[in-house]
Structures are given as structure tokens and as C-alpha cells.
Amino acid sequence: MPADPLVRFRRWFDEARRARVPLPEAMALATADAAGRPSVRFVLLKGADERGFVFFTDARSRKGRELRENPRASVAIYWDAVGKQVRIEGRTEGVAPAEVDRYWKTRPRQSRLAALSSTQSARLAGRASLMARWRKLHRRYPGDEVPRPSYWTGFRLVPETIEFWRHREHRLHDRELFVRTRRGWSRTLLQP
């Protein structure tokens, strides 16, 4: 097995894609506010390299607020079809605006309009008001050019630990924990 956990992650991710796992990029993101109250939700992984694991969101959302208050986070990615899970813990940092712009332009037009229409996580009086805002923006931006709002941003989870879990018979699963050190990654086997 590769000693570099990022190489291993890419291999496992590619295996999940080949196995046609629905939304292999879906990951449960756990955050906590300044008082330590946790919350978790699914986000989509949009990039993974030696710098970390990238996702995009509305900075005004609960997760955006919590990451400003407390940049520590963890994600769990589970691919049932291949019997594998990856857990990543670390600190988040903002993604450069140019990278956010590049990603924004790849999103479907309807998704960009939805991001402009919604104040994510804010109270909603009723669906009719949301749809009215969406229709108004749909008319305002009839072409493919939909500007990225300043609150649409990206975060990079810089991994401090990465754990790989593989299903085995009799619940005697394989677990490997990689911890980032000054000299690279240290690897430890964990009991199931």
C-alpha cells in the first residue's frame, strides 16, 4: 500500500468511481461553533491534492460561520459499494478567489442562479418567495454569465490525520491512521 495517504486516497476515490458509487465525492463535513456545539452535513469534494481537500459553499451559511469561528473540521467519506471509508481531520483555510472563480464558472447556470437566490441557512417564510427571487434573477441574467457573489467561497481542509478503513469479514476491519509530522506522514495500524 502507498505510504503517501494522498496517493491512497486518489486510488480509493478512483475505485469508487469505477464501481459507479453514486456521488463518490459526497462527504460528511463536521464543524463546531466557538462554544464547541457540533453540526454535520454533506458537501461535495471538488478537489484533492497535497494541499488538502476542497469544497465550496455560501460563507453566510451555518458551516461558513462555524468555520470562521473555529477552523477545525473533519470529513468522513463512505463508499458502501467498495466497503471503504476515509476520515480526514485538520484545519480549514480559505481558497484563493481565482480558484473560487474557476469553480463557479463550471457550475450549471441553474445552480449559480440558486446560489444567488438563497441566503443559505437563513429562515425562509415560504418557498414562493425563494422561487420569486430565482425567477427574477433568471430574467436578469438570461445568458450563461452569472456573476459570482462575494459570499460564495471555498474552503480547503488541510489534513493533519487521515484514516483509511476497509471492510473485512467478522467485523475484523482494516484501519490505518496517517498523522502528518514535520518529516512527512507517520502510519499506524489501528484495531477494528
Candidate list 139, 171, 182, 183, residue with the active-site label = 171
DSSP conformation class of 142: -
Chain-centre distance for alpha carbon 13: 14
Q: Tell the burial category of 88 from Cβ atoms under 10 Å away from its Cβ (0-12, 13-18, 19+).
A: buried
- The rounded distance, in Å, linking the Cα atoms of 32 and 48 is 23
Classify the C-alpha dihedral 145-146-148-150 as positive or negative: positive
Side chain identity at residue 43, one-letter code:
V
- DSSP H helices in 3-46: 5-18
Answer yes or no: 171 catalytic.
yes
Q: Are 31 and 73 in contact (CB under 8 A)?
A: yes
Active site residues: 171
